[in-house]
Amino acid sequence: MSRRIAYQGEPGANSHQVCKEHYPDWEALPCASFEDVFAAVEQGDADLAMIPIDNSIAGRVADIHHFLPGSGLHIVAEHFLRIRFCLMGVPGTTLDTIRTVHSHVHALGQCRKIIREHGFKPVISGDTAGAAREVAEFADPTQAAISPPLAAEIYGLDILAEDVEDEEHNTTRFVVLSRELVEAPAGNGPVVTSFIFNVRNLPAALYKALGGFATNGVNMTKLESYMVGGEFTATQFLAEVDGHPDDPGLRRALEELAFFTTDVKVLGVYPADPFRAEVSR
């Protein structure tokens, strides 16, 4: 049986693209929602999940923090994808025939320049690849889609303009989730450790909780807060740091963290994507 990796979106979406790049021999399983992606792995319908977690323009991906802590899944890898959008239409479409352009609301917001330059009317679709499928079904040269280039290949559309996104640095970070906890070995290259913890709503609680990372020289690359159970009296944090829990500095920092927090849970210990080193130069 072929191994399966689940992603949110329709065939041709950016999540599909990153699956093809890093798991080319796996069957990519499209899912309608993030909840369905998590369920596919939890129930054994897929072996892994490819989940977008951050975008360099839009920030954190909504809803992921709701599913991740309670899912029982573990982060085993990360991948960065440079987001590229193309303007595409059915054969015979030209820039002059287009009146409306379809895409996900975030993609439309990230491609404002070409929309404004040509006076296109933006129409929101549920998914970038879904927009390409819809345009193929319309078979109307006045309708176009802003979608990843893979979608043009899948739905038989012509690419009319490439790299139409406003910002060249548009990049999405994806994490790979597994039912099994597979930790990267220590001392074998850069490692990222992701974990969650709760702090009580007390003065200086977060300051005390994080002090150990500073004093032990641990670089924290992410810290995001969320309400727990819709209450204002407790806060949960998702944090990511450079290093392995077996490294002396990080081990001491996590020990100190436990004194000032509750429910510390390591979500994953995984190799750092080479992209991190490239952007830090």
* Catalytic residue set: 172, 174
Report which of 133, 68, 62, 59 is spatially closest to residue 102, judged by C-alpha positions.
133
End-to-end CA gap in the chain: 42
DSSP string computed for 60-83: EPTTHHHHHHHH--EEEEEEEEE-
Q: Which of 53, 64, 267 is nearest to 181 (CA)?
A: 267
Of 209, 93, 179, whose CA–CA distance to 140 is shortest?
93
Exposed/middle/buried for 262, CB within 10 Å: 0-12, 13-18, 19+?
exposed
Amino acid (one-letter) located at 72: G
Selection from 187, 169, 174, 186 nearest residue 273 by Cα: 174
Q: CA-CA distance, 14 to 12, in Å (whole number)?
A: 7
